[in-house]
Amino acid sequence: MTTTQSHALYERAVRVTTAGVHSNSRARKPYPLYFQRADGPFVWDVDGHRYIDLGMGNGAILLGHNHAAVQEAVARTLQSGLTTGLESEIAVRAAELFVKLVPAAEQVRFTNTGTEALLHVLQMARAYTGRRKIAKVEGAYHGWADPVFVSTWPNLALAGPDGAPVALPGTGGLDPKIVRETLVLPLNDLAATEALLSQHASELAAILVEPTLIDAGFIPAEREYLLMLRDFADKTGTVLVFDELLTGFRLALGGAQSYYNIQADLALFGKALGNGYPVAAVAGKAAFMEQSAPGPGNAAFVGTFNGHAVVMAAVEASLQELASGEAVALLQTRTHALIEAFAASAKRHGVPAQMQGCGGHIHWYFTGEPVRTYRQAARASSQRYSAFVDVLAESGFLVSPNYLLHHAISVAHNDATLEALAEAMDRGLAAAAQTEE
């Protein structure tokens, strides 16, 4: 496949844009692809090649690219001239619908990105508790801010014992003191996690958990683990925060809190909330949300682009499409069918591999046992993964070369595209079977 136009654009872009991309996750060797059009499950690059998208905006585009109802709502709002810096009826309607669909949320406030939402939540938790320290799970990505870009995709040679992970910076430029203050927890190890939390109980403002680690593929927390965190938070007055930026509206209509039937104090939402438009939200119990109201001692909640009218139109339209529950149910059915097809192919080819997923989030691990921790994922075969996804890419699928990232399908991925994916996975597993670890 020739990509001469992408190459040419890269040569132009790299002169004016670091690495030629605006997010490091889009960098590829020998150069990134550049795109010009998207519709349904498909994207077209500047060379005219069509791909079946298995990234879907990092899982944000649940309904499919260029969804008619969302685009029409955006177009209507653009014609009004209303954009930002003002409150609008559209934002009120979007908030009302959000609270209706997410039973765990008594109130919601909109912002622009997951990292912004995370920083708001941390300030709210500190204002509520009067404490400073936070705890997070090893391998979870919660944005690029100093307190949370910690032990995200850590090097296992430096990460310490399984039951007592060392806090490692996830990137250069972090404040080492802030990194050291973050308590890192081993996912799904109840005894070790409870022991670590107990040692720091009087210092902890918040326990931050992604109910499924999706930026490391798809690693679900066990319900007993989340229940233990809920119980600990109740006993110690610590704020329990669920990062639902990726699980929201995919694991269940009400997010992971509905899926697990466990209510956090505060939660972050985003991604599928706007079907690709830039939005995030902080939601939760009113007593905790009020910590961000104007007033002495409260946490600030400000932002010029918060509640941007055009984005709120996308949010309202997306939530209206999701409200019946049919879209989420369809994604669950299709995800399950793909997992069954992969398992049958892996058995036929004699490849130790797992496909894990829910609600359209999917990922593949080349290892013999179901993956329940980041460390298991990191020890899976990257060589077999590469051989597998190379075949998918040759078959016209847009996939990540990184074996510790994630993939997603949308409602727009119809039977034909999913049958093609099942066939490509079978060929990919045949290639993986011939690959040395």
Q: Which are the catalytic amino acids?
A: 141, 243, 271
For 3-9, which contacts have Cβ atoms below 8 Å and span 24 or more sequence positions? 3/33, 3/45, 3/47, 3/49, 4/47, 5/34, 5/45, 5/46, 5/47, 6/31, 6/32, 6/33, 6/34, 6/45, 6/46, 6/47, 7/31, 9/34, 9/46
Q: How far is CA 397 from CA 147, 226, 412, in A?
A: 36, 35, 15
Which region holds residue 173: left if phi is over 0, alpha if psi is between -120 and 50, else beta?
left
Say how far apart CA 339 and CA 427 lie, in whole Å. Answer: 15
Strands 212-213 and 204-209: unpaired
